[in-house]
Each structure stands twice: as structure tokens, then as C-alpha cells.
Chains A and B, each alone.
Chain A
């Protein structure tokens, strides 16, 4: 119990530090955000407008007051207002977050469905032709950055074959077919790299488990190969695979930026790129914060699960 509380405490502390860093980074960086924002044309901005924006952003208050106010708002779930259209940042994030999570989930599922069977097939006869071909395929898949894969998919399937549109998003309800058609390409793009990772992990993990004593025992008492593979090997090999996948999906929370950009998919990281380009500080701050909190939480959950399953982890 003490271990769990400690681990949760560390995570809360980390989130607080992250929020503080994001807050300070935006305010301490050289250059006044208000002036930068208003000086789009290169001309010196109107001092009145700068002062007004200062007031709107709360930048005229002393920094400790801003800091406290910032945290009071955060605890109320208020992430401030977008500089572009004055809408609450939290609303926009809540609108887009499920889309990104759906994209990541679909990619993860696809990678698992492709990677685990192929990884097991490769591990059954290591060093043989199938293993070499699959290993080579995975190495190649890892060498293609997502934006290259995405761009090539758009060129082939949207421009040449014209089977799907180049990108975009359709809500699920009125037209589920179109929703999934538009989800397919970005999900496949992310899944390719993930597949390679899952494949490698499955192969290594299955090979590792296959050499254990209990597998030898199972062979010795005459169990069938398929039964050993599914009941003894795969079950024990699955834990590291799921861990690696989960950690990768966590990284993807911030890593879908490129894919969403290529496919014009209105997810969370697309919002981030727009906000970066528009120098919309509250929006950047909000998105970074939300993703980091999700990331830390995911790691915490993984750690807790691991600790519950394996008491040795708790001692470190």
C-alpha cells in the first residue's frame, strides 16, 4: 500500500512540475507574447492593443499572482481561452481528444492483430526463411518515418487509385462507413511502425519463454504443440508485448502530430500544430498539459499493474 501511495504521490508531483515548467517557459522566454502576437505584419504593434491583450492574458499582474491564478483555474478544469477565437481551450481539447484516442486505439489494435501472429510464426522456426523475411520486413517498416508512409499512402490510394479521399474526418453517427474509411489510412500509417515493434517484441518474448523449464516440462509430458504454444508460451510471452505496446501508445499521444497533419485529421495534435503556428499560447499550454498528464497517468497505471503482478518491482 505504501508503495502505491508513494508512486501516486510522485506522479502528482511530476504533473505539478510539468505544469509549472510550461507556465514559466511561456512567460520567461525572451520576447513579449502579446507583442509577438500582434506584430504579425512586422510593424511595431499598437501600444494600446498590447496593453489590452496584456490585460486579457493577465500578463499585467505580478508573476506570482499569475502563477496562483493559473493553478486555481487548472484545478477547476479551466485551461484559459484561445487567442484566435476566444473559445475555451478545454472545450476544444475535449472535442478533439476522443478522435486522437480513437486513432491511437485503432492503430494499436491493428498492430497487435498483425504483429503477434507474425511474431509467433517467426519465433517457431528462428533463422528459417519465414523468420528472415518477416524480420527484414519489420526492419524496413521501422525505417520509414510515419510522414513518409502517410504521404506515399495518400499518393497511391487517394491520388492514383482514387479509392479513398486524401484525408479528413467524418463523425461516426450519421455515416459510420465514411468514418471508418477516413480512419483507415491514418491508423494503418501509425500501425506499420507499431507492427514492427510488436513483431520484434513477440518474437523475442516467445523465443525467451520457449526456452523455459515449464515449456520443457509440457513437452515432456506429451502435450500437443498447439496447446503448448497457446497455453504455455503465448500467455507468458504476452506481458512484455502489452507493456511495450502501451508505452508506445503513450508516446503516440504526442506523436500523432505528423500523421494528423498529413491526413488533415482534426485530432488533438493537429490542434497543437495550428496553435504553434498561430502562437496561441493558452492553447499550446493546454494541449501540452493535457497530453503530459495523460502520459504520466498511463505510465503510473502501467507501473501499478506491474507492481501488483510482480512484488519485486515495489522494492525499487
Chain B
């Protein structure tokens, strides 16, 4: 499985940046400086200061940390939980299938943002509710991917062979089936993480996600909205940071999907174009 390097490096760089934020020589993200509110960029504050005089660059980087941590945590929880349910549902038979797989249809009855809003209403906003909420939203996706994977793998000869060798159910599920459905699950994980960044920022934008004064891109955009005529730059930075991050993550998703499913890659560069040569009229072969 070969993955295109560009997207991997981009996402890796963003992740690395968020990891080293605490050791960077940055102004604290919550220290206010009312005298210099909405100050333009200066040597001390490279991206300027926001409506409370806080350092924008610092808030941007700390906000990235919050956003990505929430996304990574919720995607990981959803991945582990959903994969376990999907494998159990596919392997253990009808009753397990009903509880593990069909029950997910209930979660899927709610549009994602709506489900998140409902839970946040009940439990109150904050990162502590945000992670389980997002995990809940994304569990069904993993269940479906894992379940579908198990169904295709289950009849394979190597599974039969492992069983004939006397391996127990747990061993078959974890050591034989799981590695063989890893590709689609990895793709699902990347899709989920990217989607979680969007959902987290959206909820924070509505004031229902990360609680101020903690920095978050969604909160920064919401705050900059009220001052956007005086200081449009304040709006620009978090929008740019958010969109570039999502762009990089989406590119990684595409790269992983292409790597996991070789058929998709062939279709990217078809030998013939439709108006020029009719496809199929010339011998099939790799593009020149």
C-alpha cells in the first residue's frame, strides 16, 4: 500500500506543530492587553492582537491544539468502539448483529449536527462533552465499514485455515480478521478526523463547543465576526488556518483511499478520452 507523500507530510507538519506549541516562545493565549485591542501585526505579535488584545498567533496555534486533540480523541474512540462492534456483529451471528449493527440505524436517524446539538443541550458545552458527542456521531460509520469488511473476509480460506488450526474466536477476530480489514478502517478514520475538525469548529462557532476563554478556531471566527469591518484580518487568520487544515486532511483521505483501493487509481488516468477515442475500442493497457 503506497500513499502519496505530499498530503502525509502536510498533515504530519500540522500535527507536529500542535505538539510543540507549549515549547514555542509564544505569548500566553489568554493574556489580555486592552490598550492594544485589535492592534495590527507587529514584531511582538506577528499576526496582531484580537478584540481583547490577545496574541492572535498564539491563539491560533493553541486553538489548533484544541481542535485537533478533540478531533483525534473522538475519532479514536469512535474507531475502537465502532470497529469492535462491527467485527463482533459480523462474526458472532444474528443476535450480536442486531444489537451491534442494526442499533446504529437509530443513531443514523439524526443528522450529525442535530445529534450533537441535542446532546450538548442536555449535557452543556465544553471539551469534556464534545469528545463523547463526536465519538457517538461517528461510531456508526466505523461499525458499517468493519461489518462490511468482516462479511467479505469471513469466507476467505485463511480464516477457515486459522479456525482449522484451532484458534479461538477472539484470536480469529483480532489477529486474522482485523488486520485484513485495516485498510478501509484507516480510510474511515481519516474521513472521520477531518469531519470532526469541521463539526467541532462549527459547534464552537455556535458557542456550543469549546468554552471561552480557551482558544478555538470556531470561537475565534465567531468573535471576529462582530469586529469584521474594523479588523478583517482577525477573521482571515482562523478561517485560513481552519480551511488549510481541512484541505490537507481531505487530501490525506483521498490519498489513503486511492492507496487502499487500487481500482480507483487506475480510473484517475484513463488511457482514452471520451470525445477523442471511444474507450474500449483500443486494447486495454497501462497509459503511455
Contact = CB atoms under 8 A, between A and B. Distances in A.
Interface residues of A, number: 66
Nearest to A193: B198
Interface in B233-280: 235, 239, 242-244, 246-247, 250-251, 254, 267-270, 273-276, 278-280
Contact of A288 (B110, B243, B269): B110
B164 interface: no
A199 to B, nearest CB: 14
A211 B272 CA distance: 10
B221 to A, nearest CB: 6
A219 B202 CA distance: 49
Contact of B269 (A124, A127, A279): A127
B105 interface: yes
A148 B112 CA distance: 19
Given A127-B268, A151-B228, A211-B279, A276 B113 contact: no
A58 B202 CA distance: 34
A192 interface: no
B273 A125 contact: yes
Place the interface of chain B in its size category: 35 or more
The secondary structure that dominates the B interface is helix
B35 interface: no
Candidate in B109, B221, B273, B275 with the most chain A CB atoms within 10 angstroms: B109
Contact of B228 (A10, A21, A125, A159): A159
A161 to B, nearest CB: 13
Interface stretch (A76-84, A87-95, A253-261): A253-261
Contact of B221 (A22, A143, A147): A147
The secondary structure that dominates the A interface is helix
A216 B281 CA distance: 7
Nearest to A18: B109
Contacts of B279: 210-211, 215-216
A306 to B, nearest CB: 17
Interface stretch (A63-71, A107-115, A290-298): A290-298
Contacts of B218: 147
B152 to A, nearest CB: 14
Given A15-B109, A142-B250, A151-B225, 18 more contacts: A17-B106, A29-B122, A123-B274, A124-B275, A125-B273, A143-B250, A144-B243, A145-B201, A152-B239, A204-B267, A216-B279, A254-B112, A254-B114, A258-B113, A276-B117, A276-B120, A284-B118, A288-B110
24 contacts: A10-B105, A17-B106, A18-B106, A18-B110, A22-B118, A125-B273, A142-B246, A144-B243, A145-B201, A145-B202, A147-B202, A151-B235, A155-B232, A155-B235, A211-B270, A215-B278, A216-B278, A216-B279, A216-B281, A220-B278, A253-B114, A254-B111, A288-B114, A288-B118
- Please list the 3 inter-chain residue pairs (A to B) with the smallest Cβ-Cβ separation, ordered nearest first: A254-B111, A254-B114, A219-B278
Interface of B: 105-106, 109-115, 117-123, 198, 201-202, 205-208, 218, 221, 225, 228-229, 232, 235, 239, 242-244, 246-247, 250-251, 254, 267-270, 273-276, 278-281
